[in-house]
């Protein structure tokens, strides 16, 4: 056991526990706070995978924007959030079985994959993955078009969200 492996196991256990709390806790605000812990755990995994930019972007976007937005919405629909009755629908056992089958199936398929036990190749110290990423996103040979399409999607979502949530004047 290397220290990195111990960190991985601790982080994975915390993240999975938080994820289970997200889907089972009755109080929705608590669920949102557990969700933040999941996001943070995933940011830690990104750091372990040498993707520093993504880790920080994960914190900025998911915790700073998405989770806060969700907490806002939960509080704006407060009467429902305070409802501490059953938060699971009547078919929850079906969902549970399906999720278990899904997990077992994915794992089973993965174990038949030849490179399942690959370990990470070392990245040469000279590569600057942030710079590489930046160049990749704007160079025409790289990912310029998907990047622009993503920005168009964001603008469309911005306008759509405003139009949908707007209070209609009578």
Partner 1 sequence: MGDPVTFIAKWFEGVLIGWGLEKGPTAVIMNLVGVIVIVAFVMIIDIFLVWVERKVVARFQDRLGPNRLGPFGLIQPIADVIKLLIKENIYPQGIDRFIYNLAPLLGLAPVLLLWAVIPLSPTTVGTDINVAVLYLVACGAFVSLGIIMGGWASNNKYALLGAFREVAQMISYEIPMVISLLIPVLMARSMQLNQIILSQNIWYIVAAPLAAVIFLISLIAELGRAPFDIAEGESEIVAGFHIEYTGMKFGMFYAGELLHALTFGGIFASLFLGGWRGIGAMTYPIVGIFWFFIKAYFMYWVIMWVKYSLPRIRIDQMLNFNWKLLTPLSLALLMVTAILDKLMTNVPALVYNGVLLAANIVIAWITVMILRKRSKKETPRVAEPRPIARPDAIVSTSASTPATTSQS
Partner 2 sequence: MIPISWYLIFAAALFAIGLFGVLARKNAIAILMGIELMLNSVNINLVAFWRYLNPEAINGQVFAIIVLAVAAAEVAVGLALIISVYRKRNTIVAEDIDMLKF
Residue 118 site contact among partner 1, partner 2, none (CB < 5 to 8 Å, cut-off depends on kind): partner 2
* Cα–Cα distance for residue pair 91/118, rounded to 1 Å: 39
Is residue 70 within the footprint of partner 1 (CB under 8 A)?
A: no
* Cα–Cα distance for residue pair 80/103, rounded to 1 Å: 31
Judged by CB under 8 A, the residue of 7, 16, 57, 155 near partner 1 is 57
Handedness of CA 15, 48, 50, 114 (dihedral sign): negative
Residue 162 site contact among partner 2, partner 1, none (CB < 5 to 8 Å, cut-off depends on kind): partner 2
Is residue 59 within the footprint of partner 1 (CB under 8 A)?
A: yes
48 with 7: CB under 8 angstroms? Answer: yes
Is residue 64 within the footprint of partner 1 (CB under 8 A)?
A: yes
Of 118 and 140, the one with the shorter C-beta distance to partner 2 is: 118
Of 76 and 169, the one with the shorter C-beta distance to partner 2 is: 76
Residue 59 site contact among partner 2, partner 1, none (CB < 5 to 8 Å, cut-off depends on kind): partner 1
In terms of C-beta density within 10 A (0-12 exposed, 13-18 middle, 19 or more buried), how is residue 122 classed? exposed
Is residue 161 within the footprint of partner 1 (CB under 8 A)?
A: no
Residue 8 site contact among partner 1, partner 2, none (CB < 5 to 8 Å, cut-off depends on kind): partner 2
In terms of C-beta density within 10 A (0-12 exposed, 13-18 middle, 19 or more buried), how is residue 113 classed? exposed
* Cα–Cα distance for residue pair 134/142, rounded to 1 Å: 10
């Amino acid at each position: 056991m290397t220290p990195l492996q111990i960190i991985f196991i601790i982080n994975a256990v915390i993240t999975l526990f938080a994820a289970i709390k997200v889907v089972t806790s009755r109080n929705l605000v608590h669920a949102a706070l557990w969700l933040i812990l999941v996001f943070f755990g995933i940011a830690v995994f990104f750091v372990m995978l040498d993707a520093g930019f993504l880790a920080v972007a994960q914190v900025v976007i998911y915790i700073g924007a998405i989770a806060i937005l969700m907490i806002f919405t939960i509080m704006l629909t407060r009467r429902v959030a305070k409802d501490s009755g059953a938060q699971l629908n009547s078919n929850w056992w079906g969902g549970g079985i399906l999720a278990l089958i899904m997990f077992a199936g994915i794992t089973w398929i993965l174990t038949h994959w030849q490179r399942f036990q690959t370990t990470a190749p070392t990245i040469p110290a000279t590569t600057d993955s942030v710079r590489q990423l930046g160049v990749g996103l704007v160079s025409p040979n790289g990912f310029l078009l998907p990047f622009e399409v993503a920005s168009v999607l964001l603008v469309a979502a911005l306008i759509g969200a405003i139009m949908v949530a707007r209070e209609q004047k009578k």
